[in-house]
Structure 1
Amino acid sequence: MSTNVTAVLNDLVETSKDGERGFRKAAEDTRDAQLKALFVSRADDCTQGARELQDVVQKLGGKPETGGTVGGALRRGWADIKSAVGGRSDYDILAECEKGEDVAKKNYSDALEKDLPADVRMVVDRQFQGVIRNHDRIRDLRDQFAAAKH
């Protein structure tokens, strides 16, 4: 069975857009200046990743996805951060970001199991490595904030 490469990439565009919105919401909710800067940086990385994937879709002759969906966001793990209300702790915000990154890791891993052209696979794999780094950084910060609570 042939892989619909455009559909796979567009799913990752949605994942990136959801991450962008989730990290921007996290930046708004945190009161910690360093976390705010980290979240804005991660959101910008997601924006760049989505643009790169959209460019690949266009080069393949497809119609690039332009954004995530609310339903998609619910499925991709950013639901809690998007519906967050003020007063949440930085630990809680980090925990929700990590959940979102868990879903992103799974989506990229699933994409890499598909039959992708070598040049497309390189882009997806490089972005996947960035998702893993993001996830691990968020997880480590969450653990630091958890330790500080006790």
Structure 2
Amino acid sequence: ELDENSTDLKQLFLSMIDESRRMKMDLGNEIQVDGGTIESGSTTMGKIYRGWMDVKAAFSGHSRKSVLENCEFGEDAAQKAYKSALSEEDIPKHIRLMLSEQKDALKVSHDEIKTLRDSCN
């Protein structure tokens, strides 16, 4: 696990988790307003559980730099997912705008993780 000197990372990650939850909720609300449905049930819970286990494994017994490298990898994947979603032509304008804003916000997080990673010995 991260040592006691990594409280800055723990706080950063908690903040990023909150931001991610808020983005997911905002997007889900817009999809429902437009008459769409949001996936639920054991499939979603299974994905959440697997994601949590992956995060837990990434932090266990690893150095600060390797934790940040794993996070940057995840942030890169998120950027690719948003880019892919934004390449779809049939997305309503307001959803496209929301996705674009979320992608930009996540890019800021990505850059913060990269800066922290680059500052490691």
Question: Is TM more than 0.5 here?
Answer: yes
Aligned-residue offset at 1:82: 4.1
CA distance, structure 2, for counterparts of residue 119 and residue 36 of structure 1: 33
Structure 1 residue runs of 5 or longer lacking an equivalent are: 1-28
**Equivalent residues of 1:54, 1:65 under 8 A apart:** no
1:7 corresponds to: none
CA distance, structure 1, for counterparts of residue 60 and residue 37 of structure 2: 38
Is 1:95 equivalent to 2:76 in the alignment?
no
Find 1:124's aligned residue among 95, 99, 106: 99
CA distance, structure 2, for counterparts of residue 46 and residue 104 of structure 1: 11
Q: Aligned pair in 2 of structure 1 residues 85, 125: CA closer, same or farther (>3 Å)?
A: closer
Give the number of equivalent residue pairs: 114
Is 1:141 equivalent to 2:116 in the alignment?
yes
Aligned-residue offset at 1:117: 1.3
**Secondary structure of the corresponding residue to residue 58 of structure 2:** coil
**Equivalent residues of 1:80, 1:96 under 8 A apart:** no
TM, length-normalised to structure 1: 0.67
Matches within 5 A, 1:1-150: 29-31=1-3, 32-66=6-40, 67=44, 69=47, 73=51, 81-84=55-58, 86-115=60-89, 116-145=91-120, 149=121
CA distance, structure 1, for counterparts of residue 56 and residue 84 of structure 2: 24
CA distance, structure 2, for counterparts of residue 41 and residue 96 of structure 1: 17
Measured on the aligned residues, the alpha-carbon RMSD in Å equals 2.3
Q: Aligned pair in 2 of structure 1 residues 99, 79: CA closer, same or farther (>3 Å)?
A: farther
Aligned-residue offset at 1:86: 2.6
Aligned-residue offset at 1:65: 2.9
Aligned-residue offset at 1:105: 0.2
Higher relative contact order (CA 8 A, sep 6+): 2
TM, length-normalised to structure 2: 0.82
